[in-house]
Amino acid sequence: MLLPSLSLLFGLALLVWSADRFVEGASTTARYFGMPPLLIGMVIVGFGTSAPEMLVSAISSLQGNPGLAIGNAYGSNITNIALILGLTALLRPITVHSRVVKKELPILAGVTALAAWQAWSDTLSRMDAFILLVVFSGLIFWTIRQQMTKDTLDKEVAEEMKTHTMPLRNGVFWLIIGLALLIASSKILVWGAVEIAHAFGVSDLLIGLTIVAVGTSLPELASSVVAARKGEHDIALGNIIGSNLFNTLAVVGIAGSIHPIKLAPEVFSRDIPVMAALTLSLFGICWGFKGKPGRISRLEGGFLLLAYIIYTGWLVRSAFWG
C-alpha cells in the first residue's frame, strides 16, 4: 500500500502545479489568437482535462471492464458539477454570462437526454457509440466555426491582450507542457487510487463512479480553481461544460466503439437521473436577473457540494449494505 499511497500524493501535487501552468498557457494562447476564453475552456481545456477519462475508459473497455468505463464517464460528470463546481464557487463565486445559459447549457442538457435515451435499453451498442461520436464531431466543428468566424475580437479579450505580458512562445510552451503533465499526473494518481480500491474489494462500477471519477476529474478541479482565482470565470465554467460534453459523447463513444457495453440497471435508475438533475439545476443557478450576469454564489456552491456528499453516501451504502 505504500507505493499506491505515495502515487496519490505525488500525482496530486504535480497535477495542481501543472494545471496552473496549463491554464496560463491556454489563456495566453487564446488572447494572442483572438479566441474567446469560453472557447478555450470548452475545447482546448475541456479536451486536455478529459484526456484521462478517455484513456481510462478505452483501456477499461479493451480489458473487459465496462463498469469502470461507464462509471468513469458518468461519475466524472457528476463530480464535475457537484464537487468541482461546488468547491470552486465556495472558494470564489463564479460570474456567468447569459450566452452560457442560452447556448452551452441547452446543448449539455440535450446531450444528457441522448445518454439517458441510449441507457434505457441497458445496452450501449456500437451504433449508439457511433452516434455519440458523430454528434461530438459535429458539435466541436460547429463551436469552432461559430467562434472563429467573428469579424472582431470580443471587447474583453481585446482589453486583456493590451495588458498581457507573457510572450506567445511561452504561452504555447506552457500549454503543451502543462497538458502533458496533467495527463501524466492523472495517470499516476488514478493508478494509486485504483490499487487501493482493489485492495478493499469494491466493484468496477463503484470504482469508476467514485475513486476513478474523482481522480480523472482532478485536472478539472485544479484548472477551474486556478482559472477562477485568476478571474477567468469563462474558462472555469466552460471547462466544466466542455468536459461533461467530452465525457458523455467522446469518452462513452470511444469505449462503446471498442466493445459493446452491457449497462448495469442502476446506471439508468440511479446515476443518469442524478447527472441529469445536476445538469438541469445549473439553469436555475446560472440564470441572471434584470439584465445582470448570473452568479454561482458560495451558498449555491455549498448546495452542490452537499449533493455530491449525499450521492457518494448513497453509492457507499448500496455497495456495502445493498
For residue 182, is it within any domain?
no
Domain count along the chain: 1
Of 98 and 312, more confident: 312
**Res 19 pLDDT > 80:** no
pLDDT at site 152 = 41
> Domain range holding 62?
40-148+191-321
Backbone angles phi, psi at 124, to 5 degrees: -105, 105
Instruction: Answer yes or no: pTM beyond 0.85.
Output: no
pLDDT at site 313 = 94
For residue 46, is it within any domain?
yes
C-beta of residue 282 within 8 angstroms of C-beta of residue 81: yes
For residue 29, is it within any domain?
no
How far apart CA 314 and CA 254 sit, in angstroms, is 28
For residue 174, is it within any domain?
no
C-beta of residue 22 within 8 angstroms of C-beta of residue 48: yes
In this prediction, residues 287-296 reach a mean pLDDT of: 68
In this prediction, residues 90-113 reach a mean pLDDT of: 84
pLDDT at site 155 = 45
Give the CATH number of the domain where residue 101 resides: 1.20.1420.30
Angle at 37 between CA 36 and CA 39, to 5 degrees: 70
Percent of the chain scoring above 90 in pLDDT: 31
**b vs e for 246-262, b when ≥16 Cβ sit within 10 Å of the residue's Cβ?**
bbbbbbbbbbbbbbbbe
Closest by CA to 41, choosing from 256, 292, 243, is 243
pLDDT at site 294 = 76
**Res 25 pLDDT > 60:** yes
pLDDT at site 162 = 46
pLDDT at site 147 = 61
For residue 227, is it within any domain?
yes
**Res 187 pLDDT > 60:** yes
Half-sphere exposure of 198 (CA within 13 A, CB side): 9
For residue 210, is it within any domain?
yes
For residue 281, is it within any domain?
yes
For residue 228, is it within any domain?
yes
